[in-house]
Chains A and B, each alone.
Chain A
Amino acid sequence: MNLGSLITGSLNDTFAVSLPLFRTELCLAATIVLVLLCRMLPVLRRLDSGLVALGGVCFALWYAWNDLRGIPVGGLPHVGADAAGLVRQELFGGLLVFDSLTAYIRFLLMGFLVLYIPFTKASGIPDHEDGADFYTLVLGATLGMCLMASANHLLMVFMAVEMASVPSYALAGLLKGRKASSEAALKYAVYGAGAAGIMLYGISLLGGLLGTCHLPSMAAELARVVDAGTANGSVMVLALGGLMVAVGLAFKLSAVPFHFWCPDVFEGAAAEIGGFLSVASKTAAVALLLRICFGLGVSPTGIGGAAANLAEPGLAGLASTRHFMVYVVGLMAAVTCTLGNLAAYGQTNMKRLLAYSTIAHAGYIMMAVAAAVALVGVNVAASREAVSAVAFYLGTYLFMNLGAFAIVALLRNRLRSEEIDSYAGLVRSSPGIVIATAVVLVSLIGLPPLAGFVAKFLVFSSLVQAISLEAERPLMLVLLVVGGLNTVLSLFYYLRVLKVMTFDPPPADRVGGEFSLVSLPGAVVTALVVPVVVLGVFWAGLYACAQLAGAFAS
């Protein structure tokens, strides 16, 4: 093969295959350039950068939706990349991959931005001067998150994580005059740098031992190495490398014990930033966790093939890899969930409370991830359902948590405070916002008929399915019990907020007036809260999309 044909092939791959499937990200990148350009020209400087960003993001959402819709529904189980439409397509020479998970997560992230930008406009952070910086950073970070969701190569994993993280550090310090904000940014950056370093070290260990960083090739190689069984030392090093990569992921997921940054950053940074980090960043991190677990745990021949492939000789090694991953993810999930809920008890600051709630929810999601990985060796259809549970959880989480942070931000504008006590007796003056808060928090507890219940129901059902199909049964039983108990535990602190809002008398020296839902901020809150109710009753549509995402699992 000469150089010429190589270049031609690569060009062909880039222009004919990769770029069309990359148009969502391209659209985001173009929007970033546009936002920055607008500031250069005096004529356009008047233009609100939020509106420019919103316009671009709407296009991106449209592309993302078309990509998701273009995935065939009927033929999913057995198509690889057949004529009917592609289900798994490697982009840019295998650095990225486009499949239904990519499409779904992208769609969620773009949908998130479309809701997020109006919310920041309504809440007034950023102001007009900061607008261009802010939206550039937000869009840039989201671009990185899209890459996280589609990474197919460990190098790409690292780059994507960094691309998502670095703008986030700057965002955390957005409130320039405030000490707490700067402290939050610094803490976040230092923590993030440390985690990234460890992750990179892990990547180099894995890549060095396996001779490749391309996830499917790594899986094949992994199977060979583990199967050979002779080189015990290398298995140890592999496990160590895997754990180090897990550190990086846990940092992004804010999983215990790498969660310490989360409450501090959320408390110090503006609530808008908290909403961004807790929803978008978490969505991408979960997608990346799925990518790595399934990338390393499932043989490339298994992808797109039937379950029979898993019984192939030479792939037994992957079973022990999966076993290892299931235990790491599962135990981390149990600890994360419990610690998040327990730590939330003592909180007096609403943003800090939501930070711990975010941590706890990461735990629930990771439980379903563990179930999905455990099930993939036993029953592929069940594993898909577990991935769908994760995908559905992410979809509802978007509305619940962004809604919660939106309420915090908009109430801050009225009350000048984010302390829970300052919400006392709010129901007397602003019943609408209290009802919205109740819907969001009760959905976070997981009570029907709200979306959070369905999400939790799906997570628990994936665990029960793992139990009934005897996939890692003891661990799954423990996770089920832990998950159930945590639901009860979490009741206290969410209800305490509602209790303060409704039962307690309002303080005599309350500043700020009523908060009516008939206003721009009210409309934002309504737009976020109504889906929480609707998705709790009519969840077939979102679940169908989530099922599509679940189809990515081999």
Chain B
Amino acid sequence: MLPTDTLSQPALWPLTAIVFLPALVAAFLSLPIVPKAREDFIRWTTLLTTAVVFVLSLWMAVPALFGPAGPAQFRLGDPSMQAVVKLPWIEAFGIEYLLGVDGISLPLVVLTTFLSMLAAAASWPITKHVKAYHILFLLLVTGMLGVFVSLDFFLFYVFWEVMLLPMYFLIGIWGGPRREYAAIKFFLYTLLGSVLMLLAILMLYFTSDLRLLSDEQLVAAHVVSPGLDGAARATAVEAIRTADRPLHTFNILALAQIGQLPNSPFAAAQVWGMSLETWAFLLLLIGFVIKVPVVPVHTWLPDAHVEAPTPISMILAGVLLKLGGYGILRICYPICPGAGLSLAWLVCGLGVVSMVYGAFAALAQKDFKRMVAYSSVSHMGYVMLGLGVWSAVAGHEYRWDAWAQGVNGAMFQMLAHGISSAGMFFMVGVLYDRVHHRNLEEFGGIFGRMPVYSGLAIAIFFAGLGLPGLCGFIGEVLVTLSSWNYSRVLAAISAFTVILTAAYILWAIQRVYLGAEYKGPHGDHLTPITPRELAIATPLVFFAILFGVAPQILFNYVTPTVNRQVETLADWTRRVHDGPAGLPVAAVQEPATAQAAR
């Protein structure tokens, strides 16, 4: 349909390598020439692969570390999609191999590669079916990275589903006593969500029409490659203009452009009394919030976390939960802005309910790992609230800076939670490896037996608590502040939840690490932390502190893209809801006098 882009695109091989290198190594490991018995070879290969992928992602993200910046590397401050790779895949449906990163996805990619590396290192205690474990682990890594970099909805969906099966087996074979139940529950919940997502994708696809977009929009959405010169570009645009029937698209950027048109076909089409936009938003939202997860679809998470082996828990909490938030930010809002606006109460409400429910549930837990799992539910509630506030100011207050604050806060919270929750699960795992139980009531006195470990663990738990100076603080405070503009009640509740968070984390620290002496089972196995464990824990603590004192490092990446997206949508709201005579842009910057307390 559209001109074929060549294999000479600068980002093609770096991005493809980041996504597919783990799968390639998995294929290699699955060959019979790798004997099952050479377990250390398999472990080192996996660790090395994830390390290479991490370095590659770092090479893209921080060119300064590697000398002069190349065309495939990330330009800080540029809000648009960068390092775009575009190759035709299935031309009959216009499906493309379309990858790219921007300020929203790149930090998550780096987080994923970083945590994958640490999780690979944390996989040493796995001794059952080592070969199969590492193959599945690497496939999982490919799936996660693929989701973050795909810009084609079909491709996105493929990667989204590719994660399911490895995860099912990783929990089901290497998990705890109730692993089978936990594995099938995880699979079932996620599959239900993704089937709904598939329906939404198809509805959007068949309603979309590229011919509605202007030339500039086509180029901005990479439907027509920006790299094409004048004549080739004109031909490509002409091919779209002269099409005799609607040109459907899976291109996420183009779908967003279509969704934000004043005469968006998504808003016009009606299904069962609601606009297609609303349906698509709801279906996609269900698919994503199951992953986040929010109350009431969170019940798979505690089970999956408790049963999963430590490295998989790290990946689950650190990366998989972020996929939901990422999906909402990248797909739900830009493509269905109208529905996002009218359903803001739903997203914010879900966020606050999860926040409070998760915190209370965490307080009630007797199992250490389960408590950490519920803390994830609570913390991801902040992400939902921050994302929801985005579209909240629907009245006449265009506080786009407040929205941007919320979304930036949500992004930061996702990254910070990736570090702190992975750290917390790792710390629980270290203890579990030694004493083989997780009963909070039977711990105590660990500080005396394992001082270095306890120090690091307490630092990570404080990061999860949201102590100022550590990474957990920034996101929570930004989200709470921005939600004040939306609803003072919600803001007050979310601020109040911090106290609950402090309660369950401090109580857990007190019960596990403090106290006179350890009286639980297997006390003689409480050996000091090993160098390998230290090598995993230290970077986590380091980044938890670094991002707490210098959040700017992350905001430099996130803010330009988020701000532009928010601005675009603020602009959209003004156009659609107030007509052309709406408030001038200048009004956007003014401090609000009467907040919309709805």
CA distance A45 to B173 in the complex (A): 52
Give CA–CA (A477, B165) in the complex, Å.
Answer: 29
Q: Of A447, A464, A499, which is within 8 A of B180 by CB?
A: A499
**In B20-67, which residues have CB < 8 Å from any A CB?**
30
Determine if B188 and A460 form an interchain contact, defined as CB atoms under 8 angstroms apart: no
Residues in B whose Cβ lies below 8 Å from that of A487: 191, 195
Q: Does A288 contact B (CB under 8 A)?
A: no
Q: Cβ of B206 and Cβ of A468 under 8 Å apart?
A: yes
Besides A467-B271, A492-B184, A503-B180, 15 more A-B contacts (Cβ < 8 Å) are A447-B191, A449-B161, A457-B198, A457-B202, A460-B198, A461-B206, A485-B195, A487-B195, A488-B195, A492-B188, A503-B172, A539-B90, A540-B90, A543-B90, A547-B92
Flag if B199 contacts A502 (CB, 8 Å).
Answer: no
Please, which residue of chain B has its CB at the minimum distance from the CB of A460? Answer: B202
A window 433-481: CB within 8 A of B: 435, 438, 442, 447-449, 453, 457, 460-461, 464-465, 467-468, 477, 480
Question: Is residue B220 contacting chain A, with contact meaning CB distance below 8 A?
Answer: no
B90 touches A448 (CB 8 A): no
Give the nearest-CB partner of B175 in chain A.
A503
Asked if A19 is at the interface (CB within 8 A of a chain B CB), the reply is: no
B136 CB, nearest partner CB in chain A, Å: 11
What sequence of 0s and 1s flags, for each residue 509-545 of chain A, a beta carbon within 8 Å of any chain B beta carbon? 0000000000000000000000000000001100110
Q: Closest approach, in angstroms, between the C-beta of A43 and any C-beta of chain B?
A: 44
* Number of B residues, CB within 8 Å of A: 36
Please tell me if B550 contacts chain A, counting CB pairs below 8 Å: no
Chain B residues contacting A543 (CB-CB under 8 Å) are 90, 92
14 A-B pairs (CB sep. < 8 Å):
A381-B245, A427-B132, A449-B158, A457-B198, A461-B206, A464-B203, A484-B199, A485-B195, A487-B195, A491-B187, A499-B172, A499-B180, A502-B173, A539-B90
| A252–B101 alpha-carbon span in the complex (Å) | 51
**B162, A488: Cβ atoms closer than 8 Å:** no
Q: How far is the CA of A495 from the CA of B190 in the complex (A)?
A: 14
Write the B172-205 contact mask toward A (1 if CB under 8 angstroms, else 0).
1100000110001001100110011011001101
How many Å from the CB of B162 to the closest CB on chain A?
Answer: 6
A197 CB–B CB distance under 8 Å: no
| CB atoms of B92 and A468 under 8 A apart | no
Which residue on B lies nearest to A481, using beta carbons? B199
Q: A448-B162, A449-B158, A539-B90 are in contact. Are A468 and B269 (CB under 8 A)?
A: yes
Residues in chain A near residue B196, CB distance under 8 A: 484
Q: How far is the CA of A502 from the CA of B165 in the complex (A)?
A: 13
Beta-carbon contact of B184 and A448 below 8 Å: no
Interface residue from B92, B198, B199, B203 paired with A540 (Cβ < 8 Å): B92
Residues of chain A within 8 A (CB-CB) of B158 are: 448-449, 453
Q: Mark B81-107, 1 if CB is under 8 A from A, else 0.
A: 000000001111000000000000000
Beyond A460-B199, A502-B173, A539-B90, whether A465 also contacts B168 by CB under 8 A is no
Partner of B206, one of A442, A453, A457, A465: A465
CB proximity of A295 to chain B, nearest CB, Å: 27
Task: Name the B residues within 8 Å of A544 (CB-CB).
Answer: 92
Q: Is the CB of A503 within 8 A of B198?
A: no
Interface residues in A342-378 (C-beta closer than 8 Å to B):
none
CB distance from B273 to the nearest CB of A (A): 12
| Secondary structure dominating the interface of B | helix
For A485, the chain B residues whose CB sits under 8 A away are 195
Query: Within residues 261 to 292 of chain B, which ones have a CB less than 8 A from any CB in chain A?
Result: 269, 271-272
Q: Restricting to A380-394, which residues have a CB under 8 Å from any CB of B? A: 381
Note all chain B residues with C-beta closer than 8 A to A447.
161, 164-165, 191
Does A431 make an interface contact (CB < 8 A)?
Answer: yes
Question: Please, which residue of chain B has its CB at the minimum distance from the CB of A445?
Answer: B191
CB distance from B468 to the nearest CB of A (A): 44
B382 at the interface (CB under 8 A from A): no
Alpha-carbon distance A72/B265, docked complex (angstroms): 36
Chain B residues with CB below 8 A from A460, complex form: 198-199, 202
A335 to B132, CA, bound (A): 40
- Asked if residues B164 and A488 are in contact (CB atoms below 8 Å), the reply is no
Q: Which of A292-347 contact B (CB under 8 A)?
A: none
* Complex alpha-carbon distance, A449 and B188, angstroms: 18
A461 touching B202, Cβ below 8 Å: yes
Q: How far is the CB of A435 from chain B (nearest CB, A)?
A: 8
> Which residue numbers of B lie inside 8 Å of A, CB to CB?
30, 89-92, 132, 157-158, 161-162, 164-165, 168-169, 172-173, 179-180, 184, 187-188, 191-192, 195-196, 198-199, 202-203, 205-207, 245, 269, 271-272
Contact A488 B205 (CB under 8 A): no
10 pairs of A and B residues whose beta carbons are closest in the complex: A448-B158, A464-B202, A468-B206, A484-B195, A448-B161, A488-B192, A447-B161, A540-B90, A464-B206, A461-B202
Question: In the complex, what distance in Å separates the CA atom of A495 from the CA atom of B132?
Answer: 18
Residues of chain A contacted by B89 (CB below 8 angstroms)? 540
Contact B161 A468, beta carbon cutoff 8 Å = no
Q: Across the interface, do A477 and B271 meet the contact criterion of CB distance under 8 Å?
A: yes
The number of chain A residues with a CB under 8 A from chain B is 34
* Bound Cα distance from A487 to B195, whole angstroms: 8
- Asked if B272 contacts A477 (CB within 8 A), the reply is yes
Bound CA span A547–B168, Å: 36
Q: Are B132 and A431 in contact (CB under 8 A)?
A: yes
| Shortest beta-carbon distance from B77 to chain A in Å | 36
**Does the CB pair A488–B173 fall under 8 Å?**
no
Q: In the complex the two chains form, is B205's CB within 8 Å of A495's CB?
A: no
Instruction: State A467–B90 Cα separation when bound (angstroms).
Output: 23
A453 touches B161 (CB 8 A): yes
User: Inside 8 A of B269's CB, which chain A residues have their CB?
Assistant: 468
Q: When the two chains form their complex, are residues A503 and B173 in contact, meaning their CB atoms are under 8 A apart?
A: yes
> What's the least CB distance linking A23 to chain B, in Å?
30
A113 vs B199: C-alpha distance when bound (angstroms): 36
Q: Contact between B172 and A488 (Cβ–Cβ < 8 Å)? A: no
User: Which residues of the partner chain B approach A499 to less than 8 Å between Cβ atoms?
Assistant: 172, 180, 184
> Nearest Cβ distance between residue A535 and chain B, in whole angstroms?
12
Distance, CA A457 to CA B206, complexed state (A):
13
Q: How far is the CA of A499 from the CA of B188 in the complex (A)?
A: 14
A543 to B94 CA separation, bound complex (whole angstroms): 13
Contacting residues, chain B, for A547 (C-beta < 8 A): 92
- Asked if A449 and B199 make an inter-chain contact with CB atoms under 8 angstroms apart, the answer reads no
Using known A-B contacts A467-B271, A544-B92, determine if residue A495 contacts B207 with beta carbons closer than 8 Å.
Answer: no
- Identify which of A435, A480, A491 contacts B188 (C-beta below 8 A): A491
User: Given the complex of chains A and B, what is the CA–CA distance between A499 and B196 in angstroms?
Assistant: 25
Cross-interface CB contact of A464 among B30, B157, B199, cutoff 8 Å: B199
B residues within 8 A CB of A468?
203, 206-207, 269
Given contact pairs A484-B196, A484-B199, A491-B191, A448 touches B206 in the complex (Cβ within 8 A): no
Query: Which residues from chain A contact B157 at a C-beta distance below 8 Å?
Result: 448
Min distance, Cβ B279 to any Cβ of chain A, angstroms? 11
Complexed CA–CA distance, A491 and B92 (Å): 29
Q: Chain B residues near A540 (CB, 8 Å)?
A: 89-92
Question: Chain A: which residue is nearest B160 at the CB level?
Answer: A448
Residues of the A chain whose Cβ atoms lie less than 8 Å from the Cβ of B179:
503
The minimal Cβ–Cβ distance linking A87 to chain B, given in whole angstroms, is 19
A449 touches B162 (CB 8 A): yes
A543 to B180, CA, bound (A): 38
Cα distance A485–B30 in the bound complex, in angstroms: 34
Which of A464, A477, A480 counts the most B-chain CB atoms under 10 A from its CB?
A: A464
Q: Report A-chain residues with C-beta under 8 Å of the C-beta of B199.
A: 460, 464, 480, 484
User: Which residue of chain B is the closest to A490 with respect to CB atoms?
Assistant: B191
Judging by beta carbons under 8 Å apart, are A502 and B169 in contact? Answer: yes
A442 vs B272: C-alpha distance when bound (angstroms): 33
> Closest approach, in angstroms, between the C-beta of B135 and any C-beta of chain A?
10
Chain A proximity of B270: nearest CB distance (Å): 11
B29 to chain A, nearest CB (A): 12
Which residue on A lies nearest to B131, using beta carbons? A431
A381 to B248, CA, bound (A): 14
CA distance A448 to B168 in the complex (A): 15
Given the complex, which residues of A lie within 8 Å of B245, measured CB to CB?
381
B207 and chain A: residue at smallest CB distance: A468
Shortest Cβ distance from B554 into chain A, in angstroms?
32
B188:A488 contact, CB within 8 angstroms? yes
